[in-house]
Amino acid sequence: MEFAPIFTIAAKEFHDRMRNRWVLAVALVFTVFSLVIAYFGGAQQGTVGFRSIEFTIASLVSLVIYLIPLIALLLGFDAIVGERERGSLDLLLALPITRLELLLGKYLGLAVALTVSTVAGFGLVAVLLFKHMSGAGLYHYAGFMLSSVLLGLAFLSLAVLLSVLARDRTRASGLAIATWFFFVLVFDLLVLGLLVATGGQFAGDAFAWLLLLNPADVFRILNVFSLEDVRTLYGLASVVPTSLGSPAIMGGVMLLWIAVPLILANWRFKP
């Protein structure tokens, strides 16, 4: 494997997303949503205005869990199948580069675009809220940003896998939406259904391990466990064993969610 072609392809992908203002638009979406949540997140409880960074993070987690997977899937579904449909995939693969280099270049370029917009969007909020934050608050917020980036990268990896598997762009976009529905809306219901259907026999640790099969849940666990005050806000926190509470283990699981789809994508990648 050579790195030069990976960087060349990554640079092109990133510049594309800068040039068409994708990075700017997504960063703005993150900033605006987080500010709205920070100031009006407690409106249902009858209060308006900034409360605490813990509450803000807890609200942001439930926003990000919907938004970031969707954005990442929409960003990545086109990566390979788009080239295939344009006829440029054969051209790229006839160059002195390998399929893996093309795949990694595409992924890296899109990953940088997603990371820059996530960090810029939420980072701007951190700057604006700086005077409200304690040292611990900043630490948690940094953890939230890092886990958001990892969540995005995991779903981007899934998107690239779909892009390799799908025969055309239409199917790829359908698969991307289906993937979003499954992991963000359906998966937790299925797990809950399983829990109820088995009359609780399946509960406990075994149930909790199932959550690792969904990067969105991994993200939730990561953030919920980093916030002592907030654990109680989520019913989930009470069923998750503390062995899963280690940020290092959850971070590792997230890295697996980034690596495994890419490995599968490289395995299934045919011209």
Partner 1 sequence: MASISPASDNMAISLRGVSKHYGALHAVDGVDLAIPRGEIFGIIGHNGAGKSTLFKMMLGLVPATQGEILVGGASVTGRHFRAARRHLGYLPENVVLYDNLDGLETLQFFAKLKHAPMAQCATILDRVGLTHAGKRPVREYSKGMRQRLGFAQALLGTPQVLFLDEPTNGLDPQAIRDFYATLRDLQSEGVTVIITSHILAELQQRVDRLAILAAGRVQAVGSVEALRQQTRMPLTFEIEMIASDVPAALQALAPLATLAPESIPTGLRLQCPREQKMAVLAALTSLGDRVRDIKLLEPSLEDVFFGFSA
| Interacting residue with partner 1 among 93, 120, 237, 256 (CB under 8 A) | 93
Q: Which is nearer to partner 1, 8 or 52 (CB)?
A: 8
The per-residue DSSP string of 164-228 comes to HH-SSHHHHHHHHHHHHIIIIIIHHHHHHHHHHHTTTTT-THHHHHHGGG-HHHHHHHHHHHH-H
Q: Does 87 bind partner 1 (CB under 8 A)?
A: yes
| Interacting residue with partner 1 among 16, 168, 205, 229 (CB under 8 A) | 16
| Interacting residue with partner 1 among 21, 25, 88, 255 (CB under 8 A) | 88
Length of the chain: 271
| Interacting residue with partner 1 among 44, 45, 46, 94 (CB under 8 A) | 94
CA dist 198 and 210 (Å) reads 14
Amino acid (one-letter) located at 75:
L
Q: Which is nearer to partner 1, 101 or 217 (CB)?
A: 101
Least gap, CB of 17 to partner 1 (angstroms) = 10
Least gap, CB of 244 to partner 1 (angstroms) = 43
- The helix-helix angle for 99-128 and 247-268 (nearest 10°) equals 150
Least gap, CB of 155 to partner 1 (angstroms) = 24
CB-based burial, 134-157: b 16+ in 10 Å, e otherwise? eeebeebbebbbbbbbbbbbbbbb
Residues 133-152 binding partner 1 (CB under 8 A) are none
Q: What's the gap between Cα 137 and its chain centre?
A: 22
- Which range, of 4-12, 31-39, 141-149, 165-173, touches partner 1 by CB under 8 A? 4-12
Residues in the interface with partner 1 (CB under 8 A) total: 22
Q: Does 199 bind partner 1 (CB under 8 A)?
A: no
Cα–Cα distances in angstroms (integers) from residue 37 to residues 23, 45, 62, 121, 188, in the given order = 21, 13, 10, 14, 24
Q: Does 271 bind partner 1 (CB under 8 A)?
A: yes
The binding site for partner 1 (CB under 8 A) comprises 2, 4-5, 8-9, 12, 16, 19-20, 86-88, 90-97, 270-271
